[in-house]
Chains A and B, each alone.
Chain A
Amino acid sequence: EPEVTQTPSHQVTQMGQEVILRCVPISNHLYFYWYRQILGQKVEFLVSFYNNEISEKSEIFDDQFSVERPDGSNFTLKIRSTKLEDSAMYFCASRGEATNEKLFFGSGTQLSVL
Chain B
Amino acid sequence: GDSVTQMEGPVTLSEEAFLTINCTYTATGYPSLFWYVQYPGEGLQLLLKATKADDKGSNKGFEATYRKETTSFHLEKGSVQVSDSAVYFCALRNQEYGNKLVFGAGTILRVKS
Interface of A toward B, CB cutoff 8 Å: 4, 6, 31, 33, 35, 37, 40-45, 48, 55-56, 58, 91, 93, 99-100, 102-108
Contact of B42 (CB < 8 Å), options: A33, A44, A103, A107 = A107
- Chain B interface residue number, banded: 20 to 34
Whole-angstrom distance between the Cβ of B14 and the nearest chain A Cβ? 26
Contact of A56 (CB < 8 Å), options: B41, B51, B100, B102 = B100
Provide the B83-113 mask, 1 if CB < 8 A to any CB of A, else 0. 0000001010001001111111110000000
Q: Are the C-beta atoms of B43 and A105 separated by less than 8 Å?
A: yes
Subset of 26 A-B contacts with CB under 8 Å: A4-B43, A35-B103, A37-B106, A40-B105, A42-B104, A42-B106, A43-B44, A43-B89, A43-B101, A43-B106, A44-B103, A45-B101, A45-B102, A56-B98, A91-B44, A93-B44, A102-B49, A103-B46, A105-B36, A105-B43, A105-B44, A105-B45, A107-B41, A107-B42, A107-B43, A108-B43
Whole-angstrom distance between the Cβ of B49 and the nearest chain A Cβ? 7
Contact of A33 (CB < 8 Å), options: B41, B89, B95, B100 = B100
